[in-house]
Amino acid sequence: MCLCHHNDQVGSSLGALLSDAVYFPTESFILQLEDPDCEEGSNPPCESVFSLNAEKILRQAKLFIEQKRFPFAVDNHNTNEELAIGYVLIGNGLYDEAIKHFSLLLQGDPEVVSAIYGRGIAYGKKSLQILSPLGRISEALSDLSKAIQLQPSARLYRHRGTLLFIAEDYVAAMEDFQQSLDLKKNQPIAMLYKGLTFFHRGMLKEAIETFKEALKLKSDFIDAYKSLGQAYRELGDFEAAMESFQKALMLNQNHIQSLQLRGMMLYHHGSLQEAVGNFKRCLQLEPYNEVCQYMKGLSHVSMGQFYEGIKAQTKVMLNDPLLGQKASSEYLKVKYLREYSRYLHSHLDKPVAEYNVDQDLPGNFKNHWAKHLPFLIEDYEEQPGLQPHIKDVLPQNFESYNIEVQKLICAADHLGALMQYDTPGFLPNRRIHRAMGLATLEVMQAMQRTWSNSKVRVNGKTRQMQWRDMFDIAVKWRRIADPDQPVLWLDQMPARSLSRGFNNHINLIRGQIINIRYLAYFDNILNFIKDRILVYHRAYNPRGLLEVRQALENVNTVEDLLPIMKVIRTQDHSVCSDGVYLCGLRVGNMLFSVETQTTEERTQQYQSEIESIYKDLTAKGKALMLSTELGDADAVCNLILSLVYYFCNLMPLSRGSSVVAYSVVMGALMASGKEVIGRIPKGKLVDFEAMTTHSPDSFIARHIHFLPSVAGTFPTTRTMIEVLNTDSTSHCPKKS
């Protein structure tokens, strides 16, 4: 774990949630000042906008005065004319000129509120144009703060709140939006932005209530419905999110952001065909939308439609960022996805047991992909292009499978649903449920064969199953369920990367942003850290132990820890080597995060523990097959839970360690004769339970109560994709 002071600079634009953040009275009135007859490079050269259009600017300024089109007018007509000119300049996007104009005006009278406000708006508008949105925000905030001191108003508080929002100071922004609403109740935009401050802090329930308040003020507020849908999606409430997106699209069926967000949610819910429909509609309206193009390609590839998928991916690749422009995350990811898609296509009809993704993909490719680095790989040899003789995966009807396979699919759906976390922030994904349910059943069958002295087929060889083979069953299903995420063994990375190590990093608090997924664990983690601090001082600072203990008694929040924080290590208790302590989570020096360092040495230590437990498990499993004693089954169960304790603490995969571990637990328990019927308790996360428990014995004691041929039927990537695509909604019996 890491706990440190954190002052992030904003490195990205507001994006879809705040695309038109800075509002001012003349926003909709954009003047066309350019001379249509003047061509660049003509002789004589074009005159400047000002010398050419001074008369037009003055004429429009007088119109602004007559129509009262700018705020905080004064009694002096000449001053009002100068103010109006400044707002005309803003209306044309001439922000530098507007800043200079207002600054000259303020030299004569530093307390002209309208000039201070106008310059602040110009600074804010200019900052939204350039790569770093913080470019001129400090000047804008200074002007708006001075204007508020001179003449507080709902408008001024709203605009300052908007700039604070851009600067990611969500607490201060929320206070300004509330001040604005106190001065003027009927402001749906201010209410929306107040909700967005909650949303970005991870306070989703508060955000939802505030978005609903915005809709009371403006019942046809599309952005409020869109934001409400996104808040429900982040909370994990699929039905409520769908309803909100649907209402936004009923108001405007061409609302691109709602189509994009709904499509992404459908993808992550496992409804890929529906997702594609949203992305297609999005691209009809906005052909160069990178997010929709990328997600369309990803959805097609996930369903085995490689020709359409790779075509969409190539379009994203060709959309190079402009000079000085930051590349989008889709642009950075798409080359990896296209190469992996080609790899999957070339192996579509090969038995999965005959090849190995971790060994086949180039080391630097895997390393860069897992670390989300730009695709800058020297001497990279591309995967083979699409081969015409390998056809796309065709839709498969549930009825086309025989009765026994149908029962297998229904059992997998049921088992997969048991793995769903009942915790805010986790959206149910039917495709992942199906995949990991099948993984559970395949692990069960493989373990039973192993305990009966049968061998398994792995990487083209027939041999006794090892612990990694058992986990690899779940890994292959997790990979195929969502090819967007690199599910790779970290110890199979290049030697240079292994020596440097990999960090699995989960932010719990970053600045003002709280990760709602892990909110239920904050007290546990706080107590865990306090205990580790005492252990640290007992060993290295015994004289100061009493003082530290007294200080810790007053620690109730993460912030309270900062004055007494030291870098320490949690210790994982070895069960095979007395006195050997394995480095686990770290607490360092406000970023509060869980960080698992997967170094080469640490990996070897953990793997020796896992190897020892697996050998014991295999021996006891074989004995169990010949025994009817209840105690034998309990001993096997304890070993299975010990195995997953070390696996979760090791975090050996680039993604998906938790669901892979839980699939193996369920499959192994079923192999031992245990019936899996219970769901994961509300608010519990398997990996965090393991990482915040001192030893495997206490992990077993806490979790034994809730833990609740596939390979022959689905031997190839094609058959695996087919079964994941199959709709069983109306066929499988509902189980509570």
- Per-domain residue ranges of the chain: 439-492+602-708, 502-598
Give percent of the chain above pLDDT 90. Answer: 40
Q: Which two tokens stand for residue 715?
A: 């031997």
Q: Which two tokens stand for residue 184?
A: 């003027």
Query: What's the pTM value of the predicted model, to 2 decimals?
Result: 0.77
Residue 507, pLDDT > 80, answer no
Inter-residue contact 53 to 33 (CB < 8 Å): yes
Inter-residue contact 715 to 353 (CB < 8 Å): yes
What's 359's DSSP letter?
H
Name the helix (H) or strand (E) containing 508: strand 502-510
- Count CA within 13 A, CB hemisphere, residue 165: 31
* Range of lowest pLDDT (105-109, 171-175, 616-620): 105-109
Per-residue confidence (pLDDT) for residue 597, from 0 to 100: 72
Residue 17, pLDDT > 80, answer no
Q: Which two tokens stand for residue 383?
A: 């995967």
Q: Whose CA is closest to 177, among 196, 207, 157?
A: 157
Q: State the Cα–Cα distance between residues 122 and 540, nearest whole angstrom.
A: 56
Structure confidence at residue 729 as a pLDDT band (50, 70, 90): confident
Q: Whose CA is closest to 4, among 353, 570, 505?
A: 505
CA quadruple 392, 398, 400, 405: dihedral sign: positive
Q: Which two tokens stand for residue 646?
A: 């070390």
Q: How far is CA 650 from the centre of its chain?
A: 22
The CATH number of the structural domain formed by 439-492+602-708 is: 1.10.3290.20
* Phi/psi at 270 (5° precision): 90, 10
Q: State the Cα–Cα distance between residues 299 and 306, nearest whole angstrom.
A: 10
Residue 570, pLDDT > 50, answer no
- Count CA within 13 A, CB hemisphere, residue 694: 7
* Residues 252-273 pLDDT 10s: 999 999 999 999 999 999 999 9
Count the neighbouring beta carbons within 10 Å of the beta carbon of residue 375.
17
Q: How far is CA 240 from the centre of its chain?
A: 20
Task: Please give the average per-residue pLDDT across 325-330, as a whole number.
Answer: 86
Classify residue 366 as exposed, middle or buried by CB count within 10 Å of its CB (0-12, 13-18, 19+): buried
Highest mean pLDDT pick, 330-339, 516-525, 722-731:
330-339
- Count CA within 13 A, CB hemisphere, residue 448: 15
Residue 363 pairs with which residues in a beta bridge? none
In the chain, what are the helix, strand and coil shares in percent, each to the nearest 5? 60, 5, 35
Per-residue confidence (pLDDT) for residue 571, from 0 to 100: 43
Residue 498, pLDDT > 80, answer no
Residue 205, pLDDT > 90, answer yes
3-state SS assignment for residue 569: strand
Inter-residue contact 238 to 428 (CB < 8 Å): yes
